[in-house]
Amino acid sequence: MIGNFNIRNSDWDPNFHHHSSHTDDLLTLADSLGLELSSPSNPRPTRFADNPYDSNSVIDLVFLSPNNIGFGYHILHPDIHKLSDYVPLTIEIGIKEINININIWTISKDSKKKKNFISLITNGIMTLNTANINLKETLENIVQQMAIVFGNT
């Protein structure tokens, strides 16, 4: 979870000496996703003030799984921010290499199997009672029944 959260806080901005009330909500959300605040390998402001009366700030944050190889290694690039008042950042995120087995099933055009398949799907869908879908639970039940119809064909 990466972005401009517009929350100044002393937890990540040493030049800001207050604790924002929004910080707890943000950290609770991150924790519910299994994420923690990742500090850049070269800490500095992530936004340059465009007003001489304001100070530069740290409001762009990176939350990652602490098990990710990129945790604590994202890099801020203040030298290439050009006309923007925000500092670009880069991060390396580890993705495990795995083999994914893919099965492709086909039915020949105009074959007896195709006609039978379409008939089974059509008959299965026609048995679904869709007359009164006014609750989320009813819709979820119909979707589950439809999954069974498609799974059985």
pLDDT for position 153: 65
Residues 89 and 116 in one domain: no
18 lies in the same domain as 87: yes
| 65 closest CA partner among 34, 94, 96, 93 | 34
Whether residue 119 sits in one domain with residue 86 = no
User: Which helix (H) or strand (E) is 58 found in, with range?
Assistant: none
- Residues 69 and 131 grouped into a single domain: no
Q: Are residues 118 and 88 located together in one domain of the fold?
A: no
In a domain, 100, yes or no: no
pLDDT tens over the chain, length 153 residues? 888 888 888 888 888 887 777 888 888 999 999 999 888 888 888 888 887 888 888 888 889 888 877 777 788 888 886 777 888 888 877 667 777 788 887 888 888 988 888 888 888 888 888 888 888 888 888 889 888 888 876
CATH number at residue 29: 3.60.10.10
Amino acid 3: pLDDT: 84
Question: The domain containing residue 118 runs over which residues?
Answer: 112-151
**pLDDT at res. 71:** 76
How many structural domains does the chain have? 2
User: Are residues 80 and 131 both part of a single domain?
Assistant: no
Q: Are strands 89-90 and 75-76 parallel, antiparallel or unpaired?
A: antiparallel
pLDDT at 69: 73
The kind and range of the H/E element at 39 are none
pLDDT of residue 87: 82
Residue 10 and residue 71 in one domain: yes
